[in-house]
Amino acid sequence: MEAMTERITVEQEARLVRARAEGADYAWTKSPLGWVVTNAKGASYQVTTESCTCMDHAKRCAGTLLRCKHVLSLRLRLLEQDARQSPPVVADKEAARTVKYSEEDRLFDKIFGRG
């Protein structure tokens, strides 16, 4: 069980790296079912914070704890928008480091559905 959990974590982290690297080039359009993402090559997918119409999601992620890079990119995008709208107020540098660490931890947990 531990080996399987480690494999899932490694696979999910690889998708997160791709989501961060490629996500800046995605074009997003709000749709009645969530979002439509169009990548740099022109391919478009219907995406929510839980699912996507891409082949990776259909073949490897659906029914598992894994999320494709499009779902992760959407989650990152929404979390970044939320963070910009309500930034934490910090009184000193030590507190800033603590808040920054906690915020990164919180984002990681939300991305991977742990919190």
Tell me how crowded residue 5 is: count the other CB atoms within 10 A of its CB. Answer: 10
Q: What is the pLDDT of residues 61-111, one digit of tens each?
A: 888 888 999 999 999 998 888 777 765 555 554 544 444 445 555 666 666
Q: What is the pLDDT of residues 1-52, one digit of tens each?
A: 576 677 778 888 999 899 999 988 899 999 999 999 998 899 999 999 999 9
Domain ranges for the chain, please list them: 2-87
Listed in sequence order, the residues at least 6 apart from 22 whose beta carbon sits closer than 8 Å to its beta carbon are 39, 40, 69, 73
Which run of H or E residues covers position 21? helix 2-23
Give the distance, in angstroms, between the CA of residue 85 and the centroid of all CA atoms in the same chain: 18
